[in-house]
Structure 1
Amino acid sequence: MANLLEQLKQQSTVVADTGDLDAIRRFAPQDATTNPSLILKAVQSGKYDAQVQAILHEVRDHAGTLDEAVDEACDRLVVAMGAMILEHVPGRVSTEVNARLSFDTKASLAKARRLVELYEQAGITRDRILIKLASTWEGIRAAEELEREGIECNLTLIFNFAQARACAEAGAFLISPFVGRILDWYRKADATQDYAPVDEPGVQSVQRIYRYFRRLEYPTVVMGASFRNVGEILALAGCDRLTISPGLLEELAAAEGTLDTVLADSGEREPRPAALSEAQFRWELNEDAMATEKLAEGIRGFEADQLKLEALLREQLASIQRSGSNSSGARA
């Protein structure tokens, strides 16, 4: 009998939630997704020092101020990591726009276009990339414009049904509703409450979104994310895609048993309502304390790791610049 991971791959597209090439090679997912936290972890591992140094030397010679050089280095680094990942997956890689731009549609568009430009310069076509944006009202509007330009998007940090609905109405290619972080909030609110995986609020949220999208025939892909245990994953078998960390991929690969399909298109259909207005979206999000808190926390967390990555690159770039200045002085 095939292990649970192999059975899961027959029901859902499995995506690796990691920037670790060793894990990607081992588990052979269809796609991979990254974020600032995963990129920072990969850089801190020391496995990619040669690539980092090459990028820093490139931007040193072409960028303006130190801040501009660091920003350009970050963009080139995430694209370089994405390009390496694409050598080991047959599908796509998701590359994230800076979290600090989550409330700025214009800046998000500029950053997304720059990332796509860098990928294309590296010979990677748009059909292998997903631009990842936070599911704020501004992020969703940026995705709507990018989709019209042929740049497909992954809308992340989804904790609320209104976020998911607005993404589908905007024509987003894919959404990433979070599971484990929702459970975290409810456990913090009531540590005595125990949930079976199928009863977890995060699992039920993804199930609701999936079934709504199918009934209303939205083509937007639903990709469950942020899992805390294997049970959550099994409770979403049949979801379009599932992005899973290496540790949980390991558990699935080691587990035997029969995996039943949980999510499937029932064939039921209903007409689509009028699209959510900005006021409706903001009100529904405001009324959901969990979603409001977890969205803000998620944006802050990604930005914190982005700042750590920038600080690391700034220090290394400044060292390279000092070394170059000393070499020039010595030659003079």
Structure 2
Amino acid sequence: MPSKLDQLRDITTVVADTGDIEAVRKLKPVDCTTNPTIVFKALGMPQFEGAVSDAITWAKSASGTREAVVQATADRLAIAVGAALAELVPGRVSTEVDADLSFDTERSIEKGRAIIAAYEAQGIGRERILIKLASTWEGIRAAEVLQKDGIDCNLTLLFSKAQAIACADVGVFLISPFVGRILDWYKKSTGKDYTPEEDPGVVSVRSIYNYYKANGIKTIVMGASFRSVGEIEALAGCDRLTIAPNLLEELANDQGQLTRRLSPDVHEKDEPVTIDEKTFRWMMNEDAMATEKLSEGIRGFAKDLVGLRSLIAGKLDA
């Protein structure tokens, strides 16, 4: 019997949640997704020593303020990781707009366009890239503009149906609802352990998936942030799933039967809703989990972005 990973590939597009070149080469995902944490870790790997050295050499001769040069160098390194991944996967690579722009629509738009321009300068077309933005109201508005520019977006740090509906309303290409982080919040809040069927993260993604399919919404649902293969199996059949290498390995080594749990042709009626800014902010305010996890996620990504910039600054001073 094929492995569970092979069975999953037959019904779901498998995406690697990593910047580890060797893991991507071995596991052969269709797409790759990165974030500041992944980029920061990737740049510590031997295969990126040359990219880091080249970026620092460029930075030492660049003009502008020190802060601007450090930020530009960080951007170059994020693109270097993305470009390396694009050479290995046949599909898309997600590259994230700086977390500290999560509440700045105009600068997020500018950064998204700049990321695409940087990839195109390396011969990588926009059809190979997804611009990742946090699912804040401002991030969703930035995605609306970028999508109209022909730049496809991946809305990340998504924890609620309100965020998912707002993303769909503006024609976002793909959303990344976070499964494991939702589970983390509920386990801490209730002290309870959950089976995959009860898992609040799984339940959330299933609800979003059902809403999209019931209303003919084309936005792709890509479950993310998994804590176990049980969560992954409970969402088998979802449009896409982005999975860390250790869980991909576990699925690859399991020869058991994988049951399809989601299908675009099987859904319950779910009336369409349009969400304006006031409604969005109120729904988020009423959802403590989504509000807390969104804020926590932005802080975490911002911390790793600061770490990357500090690394660059230290090398410039060396």
TM range (shorter): over 0.9
Structure 2: how far apart are the matches of 1:268 and 1:161? 16
Q: CA deviation at 1:48?
A: 1.2
Match of 2:202 in 1: 203
2:130 counterpart letter in structure 1? L
Moved more, 159-168 or 260-269: 260-269
Structure 2: how far apart are the matches of 1:186 and 1:272? 27
Q: CA deviation at 1:269?
A: 8.3
CA contact (8 A) 1:25 1:88 kept: yes
Query: What secondary structure sits across from 1:25 in the alignment?
Result: helix
1:276 counterpart letter in structure 2? I
CA contact (8 A) 1:134 1:155 kept: yes
Structure 2: how far apart are the matches of 1:165 and 1:62? 43
Q: How does 1:191-230 map to 2 (within 5 A)?
A: 191=191, 193-230=192-229
Structure 1: how far apart are the matches of 2:156 and 2:131? 10
Match of 1:124 in 2: 124
Moved more, 56-65 or 242-251: 56-65
Q: CA deviation at 1:271?
A: 8.7
Match of 2:114 in 1: 114
Query: What secondary structure sits across from 1:141 in the alignment?
Result: helix
Match of 2:304 in 1: 305
Match of 1:295 in 2: 294
Moved more, 137-146 or 36-45: 36-45
Deviations 1:125-178 (A, max 9, x none): 000000000000000000000000000000000001100010011100000000
1:37 counterpart letter in structure 2? T
Q: CA deviation at 1:268?
A: 5.8
Structure 2: how far apart are the matches of 1:273 and 1:202? 22
Structure 1: how far apart are the matches of 2:171 and 2:119? 23
Match of 1:326 in 2: none
Query: What secondary structure sits across from 1:157 in the alignment?
Result: strand
Structure 1: how far apart are the matches of 2:29 and 2:267? 31
Structure 1: how far apart are the matches of 2:25 and 2:162? 36
Question: Which ranges of structure 1 fall in alignment gaps of 5 or more residues?
Answer: 320-332
Deviations 1:34-82 (A, max 9, x none): 0000011111234311111101212322331211111111111111111
Match of 2:19 in 1: 19
Query: What secondary structure sits across from 1:94 in the alignment?
Result: strand
Q: How does 1:11-160 map to 2 (within 5 A)?
A: 11-160=11-160
Q: CA deviation at 1:308?
A: 0.4
2:263 counterpart letter in structure 1? A
Match of 1:263 in 2: 262
Closer, same or farther in 2 for the Cα pair 1:285/1:46, shift >3 Å? same
Structure 2: how far apart are the matches of 1:44 and 1:71? 18
Q: CA deviation at 1:288?
A: 0.3
Closer, same or farther in 2 for the Cα pair 1:244/1:268, shift >3 Å? closer
Structure 2: how far apart are the matches of 1:235 and 1:91? 24
RMSD: 1.3
CA contact (8 A) 1:40 1:309 kept: yes
Structure 2: how far apart are the matches of 1:121 and 1:169? 32
CA contact (8 A) 1:217 1:269 kept: no
Moved more, 1-10 or 63-72: 63-72
Structure 2: how far apart are the matches of 1:291 and 1:268? 24
Q: CA deviation at 1:272?
A: 6.3
Q: CA deviation at 1:17?
A: 0.2
Structure 2: how far apart are the matches of 1:114 and 1:161? 30
TM-score (norm 2): 0.97
Question: Which ranges of structure 2 fall in alignment gaps of 5 or more residues?
Answer: none
Match of 1:231 in 2: 230
2:47 counterpart letter in structure 1? K
TM-score (norm 1): 0.93
Structure 2: how far apart are the matches of 1:53 and 1:44? 12
Deviations 1:242-286 (A, max 9, x none): 000000001000011111110002366869645211000000000
CA contact (8 A) 1:216 1:269 kept: no
CA contact (8 A) 1:173 1:220 kept: yes
Structure 2: how far apart are the matches of 1:170 and 1:16? 26
CA contact (8 A) 1:140 1:167 kept: yes
Moved more, 238-247 or 47-56: 47-56
Closer, same or farther in 2 for the Cα pair 1:282/1:210, shift >3 Å? same
Deviations 1:79-121 (A, max 9, x none): 1111100111000100000000000000101111111110010
CA contact (8 A) 1:63 1:72 kept: no
Larger Rg: 1 or 2? 1
Match of 1:250 in 2: 249
Count of residues in Structure 1 that have an aligned counterpart in Structure 2: 318
Query: What secondary structure sits across from 1:88 in the alignment?
Result: coil
